[in-house]
């Protein structure tokens, strides 16, 4: 899904022209080369990737620079023996290219997510499905919820792999998160955020696809209220980027339904593996008993399952004494009793992100408005409510 381009210049001639321009100017930006050669930025980036693999140029952010090996009397570029004039992207000598081979004309998209084992596998599944339909190659990287690590992975995808676009779930908060968002705004490839929204300062600079977590939390509150619960508490984990949205949806729904918030448990706790978790768990249950709270919304599944176990140890019946709705629905049905859950549309988010990025690559008009897609979660009712 690339732009149609003039065919007056053969690929080998075009790459020779790239080297000639670099010899004369030292460093050239991708978009300047695209304008001068009358081709798309995608084509130029692929040319630069191929030339960089052969040691003829060096990629820099936003463009390329000539290497010491390319002098004024160096021979004109021609496709090396055994290497087709159009890049096939295999480049086995480059470690970052050890992925399924890229075919001529195929888009390559880099994807960086903070986890490969919880929540994100279903998002990745959706990405893979949409990428297969669109004939897009995905290069996946896992990060660690740290902006420094995320930027390192993203930089390698841009400068070494030579991706045409990025799908990323970055850190957006704190000084490092703000710096990462500024950097993402400046990169020379289209960016789509997954399950993250740009802050107001950068709204419109990058596009995004998110689950409507606030609406999901409101669904949970309304479900519990319809069952007759009048005091519905909340427990979220401190480090999760999803927690602020869940809390906002819970609070807004309680206010809309006239449910009391004063005295109702509203805990922002450590997550389950932390040493402080058992004490936080007992504090939550004590608060429920003392306030007369009969229902809880809990983010996320591991914390909710641990809460059920502690209820059983303390003789608190679920759902008779305390009804529970968990948020994520990764392993909620494996609890005893199985947990009612809000299920974010993870696979749908992944599919929509690929579609949005491919649409952006197919229409590189700088005046094209930025798109922000919000997808609604589902309520899955089970025995805990």
Looking at the structure, tell me whether residues 320 and 335 fall in a common domain. yes
Query: What mean pLDDT is reported for the chain?
Result: 86
User: Token pair for residue 38?
Assistant: 């009358």
Q: Which residue has the higher pLDDT, 211 or 10?
A: 211
- Average pLDDT of the segment spanning 264-289: 94
Structure tokens at 284: 């939550």
Could you tell me the CATH number of the domain that includes residue 370? 3.40.50.2300
Give yes or no: residues 259 and 359 share one domain: no
For residue 359, give both structure tokens. Answer: 């649409």
Structural domain that includes position 19: 11-66
The mean pLDDT value for 359-366 works out to 80
Cα separation, 173 vs 185, in Å, equals 15
Do 128 and 163 belong together in one domain?
yes
Q: Which residue has the higher pLDDT, 98 or 155?
A: 155
Across 162-186, average pLDDT: 93
CATH assignment of the domain containing 25: 1.10.10.10
How many structural domains are present in the chain?
3
Residues 188 and 235 grouped into a single domain:
no
Answer yes or no: do 114 and 43 share one domain.
no
Mean per-residue pLDDT for 134-159? Answer: 93
> CA triplet 331, 332, 333: central angle to 5 degrees?
95
Q: Which pLDDT score is estimated for 101? A: 54
The 10s digit of each residue's pLDDT in 70-118 is 554 444 454 544 444 444 433 333 333 334 555 656 889 999 999 999 9
Total Cβ atoms within 10 A of residue 255: 10
Task: Specify burial of residue 274 (Cβ count, 10 A radius: 0-12, 13-18, 19+).
Answer: middle
Query: 351 and 208 in one domain?
Result: yes
**168 in helix, strand or coil?**
strand
> Is the model's pLDDT at 139 over the cut of 60?
yes
pLDDT for 246 beyond 70? yes
Per the domain annotation, does 52 fall within a domain? Answer: yes
The pLDDT value recorded for residue 282 is: 97
Residue range 254-265: average pLDDT?
Answer: 97
The 8-class DSSP code of residue 201 comes to G
3-state secondary structure at position 140: strand
Are 28 and 140 within one domain?
no
Nearest in space to 373 (alpha carbons), one of 272, 237, 355: 355
Structure tokens at 109: 């998209």
Whether 323 and 307 have beta carbons less than 8 Å apart is answered as no
User: Would you state the pLDDT for residue 68?
Assistant: 59
Q: Is there a single domain that holds both residue 252 and residue 311?
A: yes
- Give tens-digit pLDDT for 38-81: 887 777 877 887 787 788 888 776 678 887 555 544 444 545 44
- Write out the two tokens for 84: 């087709």
Residues 305-322: tens digit of each pLDDT: 999 999 999 999 999 999
d(CA 141, CA 154): 9
Residue 296 maps to a domain: yes
Residues 322 and 222 in one domain: yes
Is 220 found in the same domain as 203?
A: no
pLDDT, residue 266, reads 97
Asked if residue 204 and residue 232 are part of one domain, the reply reads no
Residue 382's pLDDT band, with cuts at 50, 70 and 90, is very high
206 plus 291 within the same structural domain = no
pTM over 0.85: no
């Amino acid at each position: 899904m690339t732009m149609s381009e003039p065919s007056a210049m053969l690929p080998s001639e075009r790459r020779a022209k790239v080297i000639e321009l670099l010899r004369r100017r030292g460093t050239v930006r991708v978009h300047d080369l695209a304008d001068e050669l009358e081709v798309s930025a995608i084509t130029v980036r692929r040319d630069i990737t191929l030339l960089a693999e052969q040691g003829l140029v060096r990629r820099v952010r936003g463009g390329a620079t000539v290497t010491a090996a390319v002098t004024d009397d160096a021979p004109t570029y021609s496709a090396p023996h055994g290497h087709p004039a159009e890049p096939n992207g295999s480049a086995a000598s480059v470690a970052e290219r050890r992925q399924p081979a890229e075919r001529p004309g195929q888009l390559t998209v880099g994807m960086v997510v903070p986890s490969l084992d919880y929540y994100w596998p279903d998002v990745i599944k959706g990405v893979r499905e949409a990428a297969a339909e669109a004939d897009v190659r995905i290069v996946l990287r896992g990060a660690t919820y740290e902006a420094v690590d995320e930027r390192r992975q993203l930089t390698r995808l841009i400068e070494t792999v030579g991706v045409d676009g990025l799908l990323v779930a970055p850190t957006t908060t704190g000084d490092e998160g703000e710096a990462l968002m500024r950097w993402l705004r400046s990169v020379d490839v289209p960016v789509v955020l997954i399950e993250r929204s740009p802050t107001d300062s950068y709204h419109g600079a990058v596009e995004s696809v998110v689950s409507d977590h606030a609406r999901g939390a409101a669904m949970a509150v309304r479900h519990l209220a319809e069952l007759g619960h009048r005091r519905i508490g909340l427990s979220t984990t401190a480090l999760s980027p999803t927690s602020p949205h869940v809390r906002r949806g819970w609070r807004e729904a309680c206010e809309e339904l006239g449910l009391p918030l004063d005295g109702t448990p509203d805990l922002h706790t450590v997550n389950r593996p932390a040493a402080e978790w058992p004490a936080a768990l007992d504090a939550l249950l004590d608060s429920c008993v003392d306030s007369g709270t009969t229902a809880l919304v809990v983010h996320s599944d591991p914390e909710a399952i641990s809460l059920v176990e502690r209820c059983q140890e303390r003789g608190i019946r679920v759902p008779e004494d305390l009804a529970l709705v968990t948020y994520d629905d990764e392993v909620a049905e494996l609890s005893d009793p199985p947990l009612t859950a809000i299920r974010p549309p993870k696979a749908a988010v992944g599919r929509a992100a690929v579609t949005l990025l491919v649409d952006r690559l197919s229409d590189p008009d700088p005046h094209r408005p930025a798109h922000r897609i919000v997808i609604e979660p589902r309520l899955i009712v089970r025995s805990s409510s």
